[in-house]
A and B are shown apart, each in its own frame.
Chain A
Amino acid sequence: MKTDDLIRLMAEDAPVRFPLGRRVGLALGIGTVVAAVLLLATVGLRPNIAAALETLRVAFKVTLTLLLAVTAICLVLRVGRPDASLKPIGLCLLIPLALLILAMGLELTAVPSAEWSSRLVGVHAAFCVFCIPVLSLAPLFGLLAALKHGAPSNPGLAGASAGLAASAIAAAIYAWHCPDDSPLFVATWYGLAVCLVTATGYGVGRRMLRW
């Protein structure tokens, strides 16, 4: 085929109806709503949510997951653009991590060592590790589908970012149900769930998001 013919063909297909930013935004919006509705329709909020939010540990858990979700969303909004610089936002991800480590330190000093293990294990560890990945399915699927239209410099990283954003959204939603409030619990089980989904995103992205 002559290059001029190809150009003529492409020119007839000029308009872009869904720029990448809109696709990713849509995936985030719909994914978040689906995950929130799923939580409300199944296990629901914890019974004493208003009172619980006034306690330090619950307020921290909700704030931390929200902060992680917002940072990861900023990352995933950029990761599909080949010319975007990811370093600044990547460094911002260290803020929630640092806060979590700080909170763990405070928890370890505030709680006698005999109680450490029971705080860490909590009551619903297995359910937490099950529930966060399930809630992250809709946003993860949406984000990967949106990023398929992207041009990431590093497809694995793009998939991992999608996994991180999806699981952080799921964690921020699950936190409104979760009855386990210790930062030790959050670090262990939320951390495990987020890592699982992020690793899944990496694996899928490496294969699926090449262009």
Chain B
Amino acid sequence: MKHFAREQQWADWLRAAMAGDQQAYQRFLVAVTPHLRAMARRRCDQFGAPKGEAEDVVQDVLLAIHLKRGTWDPSRPLGPWLTVVVRNKLIDSLRRRGRHVEVPIEDVAATLAEETGADTTDHMDAERLLEQLKDPQRDIVRSISLNGAGVRETAARLNMSEGAVRVTLHRALKALAAIYRSDMQ
């Protein structure tokens, strides 16, 4: 019952996010992340891989959720969609790190339903990551993620339109996903 209520809540947040509600999206991502982390850690522990590597996997999976959220049909339940995306990306991400894994779909569904505490470690060095982005993208990513500025503020500072900042940000996220993909091969 509790699990069902949470899935409803996540679905509501993601639905609102897709319609443009940033705060709802932030809530959704913050809520999902500990579950992704628990899964990634459990897998990485099996191989004796460092915790930082699990965090890379978490970010890889988050980027996949972000870039593919348009494939979720908001009139359908979120659980099955999220479970499949997370599982596929988890396997893919671990495999690229040379870890051959089986991830039973029941495990993913169960971990998404579990309670988890929040704690973070980061691994992939932010500066090294940013170096691989081209210029307006790098500036915008640095401004928003590291300095905590919003799109409007960033646009004003860089003398760009808000629309242009949004488009560049979207491309930067795609580029980041590609960097994660190539970095691990």
Q: How far is the CB of A130 from chain B (nearest CB, A)?
A: 35
CB distance A18 to B81 under 8 Å? no
Roughly how many angstroms separate A6 CA and B63 CA in the complex, as a whole number?
A: 9
Roughly how many angstroms separate A8 CA and B149 CA in the complex, as a whole number?
A: 10
CB distance B84 to A153 under 8 Å? yes
- The answer to the question of B117 belonging to the interface, with a C-beta cut-off of 8 Å to chain A, is no
In the complex, which residues of chain A have a beta carbon less than 8 angstroms from the beta carbon of B170? 13
Q: How far is the CB of A148 from chain B (nearest CB, A)?
A: 11
Number of A-B residue pairs with CB-CB distance less than 8 Å in the complex they form:
118
- The answer to the question of A127 belonging to the interface, with a C-beta cut-off of 8 Å to chain B, is no
Number of interface residues of B (CB under 8 A): 53
Contact of A15 with B64 at beta-carbon distance under 8 Å, contacts A7-B29, A8-B26, A10-B29 already known: no
The 10 closest A-B pairs by CB, nearest first: A5-B145, A15-B20, A11-B26, A14-B25, A82-B84, A151-B68, A83-B81, A1-B126, A83-B80, A16-B18
Majority DSSP secondary structure for residues of B touching A: helix
In the complex, which residues of chain B have a beta carbon less than 8 angstroms from the beta carbon of A23? 70
Interface size class of chain A, counting residues whose CB lies under 8 Å from the partner chain:
20 to 34
- The answer to the question of A12 belonging to the interface, with a C-beta cut-off of 8 Å to chain B, is yes
CB distance B59 to A1 under 8 Å? yes
Contact of A3 with B169 at beta-carbon distance under 8 Å, contacts A83-B81, A151-B85 already known: no
